[in-house]
Amino acid sequence: MNFAVVGDPIEHSLSPEMHLAAFAFAGIEASFERWRVGPSGFPEVVSALRTGQLDGVSVTMPHKRNAYEAADDLSPEAARSGAVNSVVRAGAVLRGFNTDIAGVRHAFSLLGVQTEAPVRILGSGGAARAAAVALEGHTLLVSARRREAAAELATSTAVPAEWVPWDEGRAGCVIVNATPLGMHGEVMPPQLTEGAVGVIDMAYSDAPTPLVSDAIERAIPVADGIDMLAGQAVEAFRRFTGIRVPATVFERAARAR
């Protein structure tokens, strides 16, 4: 079995380490490579899948929309999110999934907060749409730079959400950072975590992001980007192999890198 993670840049991706650890745990012989694929190169990935060179791919930026459009069959959640980050070849059919949704749900479960807690999503792109679908049923607030972007997120995912200005504080919420901010040390407005009951940071880096560090200092329950990655990897691996491996296997491999 042959798999790859595709994107540009790709060097920072933890997918190979996580999935190779899961293959070893499950006793499966398989490869998992990094494929650097430029903005116009996704047709090469599709060709590799259709010809059997690859059995499946994990997809990172900038190709999640390309994968969505290339898939022959979309899971219902991938269709609602408008993005695909896992493609599996099933005979002649390419099946597209958005496993970020499972990752967000896993991260939320680690917080230990009340299941009905309101959620404030930072951002309005693909990661934010995945978070909205994942946490449907909560009272959702969306902080995007533009009110129109928040409204488009709610419309495209069919998940009701209220726009809240980026710099406005709202106590009692779980904060979900669905932007890349923090990966390179960017600091969030301090009012975002004032009164927060939990924090999920979908961004990750070698060191804790400023948002994660702020939550820890304030004794707010927090799940970081690796927690989220581990949760999505569980679902991606299940789609690749039909086997469910514990999230701890993926998390240990990612944190050991």
Distance CA 150, CA 51 (A): 40
Indicate the burial class of 24 (C-beta count within 10 angstroms; 0-12, 13-18, 19 or more): middle
Given the residues 10, 22, 56, 64, select the one marked as catalytic.
64
Say whether 208 is catalytic.
no
- DSSP secondary structure string, the chain? -EEEEEESS-TT--HHHHHHHHHHHHT---EEEEEE--TT-HHHHHHHHHTTS-SEEEE-TT-HHHHHHH-SEE-HHHHHHT--SEEEEETTEEEEE-THHHHHHHHHHHH---TT--EEEE--SHHHHHHHHHTBTB-EEEE-SSHHHHHHHHHHHT---EE--TT---TT-EEEE-SSTTTT-PPPPGGGTTT-SEEEE----SS--HHHHHHHHTT--EE-HHHHHHHHHHHHHHHHHS----HHHHHHHHHH-
Q: Which residues are catalytic?
A: 64
